[in-house]
Amino acid sequence: MTDIHTHFPRPGIPSVVDVSGRVDFMGSEHEYFTAGLHPKSIAQDWEQELSDIERLASLKGFVGVGECGLDKYAEAPRDLQMEVFMAQLLLAQRIMKSVIIHCVRLYSDVMSLIRKTNFKFPAIFHGYNGNPETTSQLLKLPNVYFSFSISSFSMPETSGMKSLPLIPPERLFTETDCDRSADVAEVIEKIAAIKGITASSLQETVYENFMKIVSGR
């Protein structure tokens, strides 16, 4: 089992921990971690915070920038969100790292910025909930991946669930995000059932996907 995006890692499960906003993040104790500027918490001194993240990127275990992205319901103006997100894409491109993307109802803008920056490293949409049309467009970008948590299955009629059959296992991840009680094994089982494959084969593929990200391959 693996967890590509979490705030509360579980013992024994390889995890990428989001340490964004922690005052002590320069001494992160996690094996794999990310840090980024969330669209809902963009500060006036965001450029300084981005510089801090760039320094953090030199530490062992730093595997990506994020979570970062765009959110239709965030207080920050969309133009500012786009400026900050683009800056993080450019940073990740420069240091050759992945990005963990938070996106709420602004998928076309995210795609536009990925193309505009010519971003070539893995771009992982965490808590994915795009509709099938959006998913088809994203799948045209070879470096885009999709992560699901147990909350993704709380309402089977959501766009993300309708999109899941379109996504090949090689583009999938599992996550727990902020849910302290979530079980990634349950996520594997639910995805496998929808896709009509065995949980063991899916688990193996997702593990391989995870190792590619954390190893930088």
For residue 44, the surrounding DSSP H or E stretch is none
SS3 90: helix
* Averaged pLDDT, 115-142: 97
pLDDT at 83: 98
pLDDT at 117: 98
Burial class (CB within 10 angstroms; exposed 0-12, middle 13-18, buried 19+) of 80: middle
Q: Report domain extents, the chain.
A: 3-215
CA distance 74 to 177: 19
Q: pLDDT > 70: what percent of the chain?
A: 97
Concatenating the DSSP letter of every residue in 106-124 gives -HHHHHHHHHHTT--S-EE
pLDDT at 157: 76
- 44 pLDDT more than 90: yes
pLDDT at 29: 81
Count of H-run helices and E-run strands, the chain = 7, 8
Q: Compute CA distances 45 → 19, 26, 39, 57, whole Å.
A: 18, 18, 14, 19
Q: Give pTM, 2 decimals.
A: 0.96
Which two structure tokens, joined as six digits, stand for 153? 């299955």
pLDDT at 85: 98
- 23 pLDDT more than 80: no
CA distance 55 to 108: 31
Q: For 169-184, how does the pLDDT look when each residue is reduced to its tens digit (9 = 90+)?
A: 999 999 999 999 999 9
Does the domain spanning 3-215 belong to CATH 2.40.110.10?
no
Q: For 87-127, how does the pLDDT look when each residue is reduced to its tens digit (9 = 90+)?
A: 999 999 999 999 999 999 999 999 999 999 999 999 999 99
For the chain, what percentages of helix, strand and coil (3-state, to nearest 5) are there?
45, 20, 35
pLDDT at 24: 60
Q: 141 with 108: CB under 8 angstroms?
A: no
Q: pLDDT > 90: what percent of the chain?
A: 87
Return the sign of the alpha-carbon dihedral for residues 159, 165, 168, 170: positive
- 217 pLDDT more than 90: no
CA atoms within 13 A of residue 189's CA, in its CB half-sphere: 5
CA distance 55 to 65: 12
